[in-house]
């Protein structure tokens, strides 16, 4: 299963990932995205759902 991480330096907290893939990722209190469900995120397109390139695949 693919694994992802959020590059906090690139993440702007725009919330697009949350809109594109509800339940898989959310912007937390720090204003940065946090992955909730990697499997769901993979199904939505993984790193492609972030226009800033802040979602990075760490493992296939």
Interacting residues toward ligand SF4 by CB under 6 A: 6, 11-17, 27, 33, 50, 52, 54-55
Measured on CA atoms in the order 25, 30, 32, 38, is the torsion positive or negative?
Answer: negative
Give min distance, CB of 1 to ligand SF4, in A: 19
Give min distance, CB of 30 to ligand SF4, in A: 11
Cβ proximity to ligand SF4: between 40 and 52 the closer is 52
Give min distance, CB of 21 to ligand SF4, in A: 9
* DSSP-assigned letter for residue 58: E
Task: Please state, in angstroms and as integers, the Cα–Cα distance from residue 44 to each residue in 20, 39, 41, 53, following that order.
Answer: 7, 9, 5, 15
């Amino acid at each position: 299963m693919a694994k992802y991480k959020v590059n906090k330096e690139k993440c702007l907290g725009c919330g697009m990932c949350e809109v594109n893939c509800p339940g898989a990722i959310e912007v937390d209190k720090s204003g940065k995205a946090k992955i909730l469900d990697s499997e769901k995120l993979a199904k939505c397109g993984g790193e492609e759902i972030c226009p800033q390139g802040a979602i990075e695949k760490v493992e296939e």
